[in-house]
Structure 1
Amino acid sequence: MSVDRLPAEADDRESKRARGMATPLIGFSDEDKLGTLLPHDDALVVTLRIRGYDVKRVLVDQGNAVEVMYPDLHKGLKPKLEDLTAYDSPLVSFEGKTVTLKGMIRLPIQIDSDVVEVDFIVVDSYSPYTAIVARPWLHALGVVSSTLHQKVKYLSEGRVKEVIGN
């Protein structure tokens, strides 16, 4: 008598299901739009805990390759001079102009009990935002964002957590 074996991946999924430990999926539904004024084309702006402070007006930008910090936040965090390291790569603003850089600073961003350290490029230019979080932060935490639903969701401690835009 022969026994057919499932591929290792399917076998693993079966054993997780049997133990009740299936990984939740991250997704958005119409329910996630409740409380959001529709229609809209708003950017996703959230409040994040950066270096122990609740920082408002943080833009979540999937198209950006680096985290950016603007002067007001940088001054407000009162960093030590040695916290800022040199950063010599050019950075171009939304208007296509080269931006003056002050340097780079590594800071923790905390959501609930989850903490990820990221490198912010400190710029010397005006913005209505205090900071921009980009793909490095999104990928490190496994964040899935939706401007339509005005939320970010991520998996932590076996469940889906979310941050609602403001």
Structure 2
Amino acid sequence: MLTNQAESDLFPKVIVSELDREKIRTPHDDPLVVEMKIANLRVRQILIDTGSSTDIISADCLSRLKFDENDLVPVNHLIMGFGGGIIHPMGTVTLPVRVGDKEASRTLFVKFLVVRDLTAYNVILGRPTLNHIKAVIVTHLMLMKFECDGGKIGSADSKRMLPYHSKTFILERRKTRAAKGHRGRTNPEGRRPDK
């Protein structure tokens, strides 16, 4: 039992059922990868990782968000990477994040640790933010439910991970393709599927 604890922060009622399944085929062992708005741009390839003790953003993603690396707050500690390797963070940055869609979302400021390379992900959302939004993660359904700003429950489902070589950082890139005259659906290489 904890003592000197602040007033209890009530946990909302969260219901998960087959109605949340969407188009997920089981069985699978896929990671939970979502999209969120960060610094007012929609970012793909965000890994939901309950094993991470910090929220991490790649330097490449941060530069695509038009953030200057010279404005990072320096840090003096190392982190343990995948496979046990030591990673030297570049610094920290606090950015506005919107989890969910306009109708059911949570907006908050997240302090990210900035690293040079993040394998196939732009962001790793770890326990600090997941705990703050009271996230309930259902890996079987590739789903995350969370408490919205108004107290209701929102959800974010997994977006299938793209191959690393075709990683798209920010969705607004589609507008650029459309402006250049590309029409119809395209595959990751930018070609129409029928060609």
TM-score normalised to structure 2 length: 0.68
The more displaced of 60-69 and 118-127 is 118-127
- Cross-structure match for 2:80: 92
How many residue pairs align between the two structures?
Answer: 144
Secondary structure, aligned partner of 2:20:
helix
- Deviation at residue 30 of structure 1 after TM alignment: 2.6
Can you give the 5+ residue segments of structure 1 that lack an aligned partner in the other structure? 1-22
Report matched runs for 1:68-147 at 5 Å: 68-81=56-69, 83-111=71-99, 112=102, 113-147=105-139
Report matched runs for 1:52-63 at 5 Å: 52-63=40-51
TM-score normalised to structure 1 length: 0.79
Report matched runs for 1:41-60 at 5 Å: 41-60=29-48
- Structure whose alpha-carbon radius of gyration is higher: 1
Could you tell me whether the CA contact under 8 Å between 1:87 and 1:103 is conserved in 2? Answer: yes
Q: Determine the C-alpha separation between the residues in 2 that align with 1:140 and 1:123.
A: 22
Q: Which of 149, 154, 161 is matched with 2:154 structurally? A: 161
Q: For the structure 1 residues 119 and 73, does the alpha-carbon distance in structure 2 shift closer, same or farther, using more than 3 Å as the test? A: same
- Deviation at residue 57 of structure 1 after TM alignment: 0.3
What is the percentage of aligned positions where both structures have the same residue? Answer: 27
Q: For the structure 1 residues 86 and 163, does the alpha-carbon distance in structure 2 shift closer, same or farther, using more than 3 Å as the test? A: same
Q: CA RMSD in A?
A: 1.7
- Deviation at residue 80 of structure 1 after TM alignment: 3.1
Q: Determine the C-alpha separation between the residues in 1 that align with 2:128 and 2:139.
A: 18
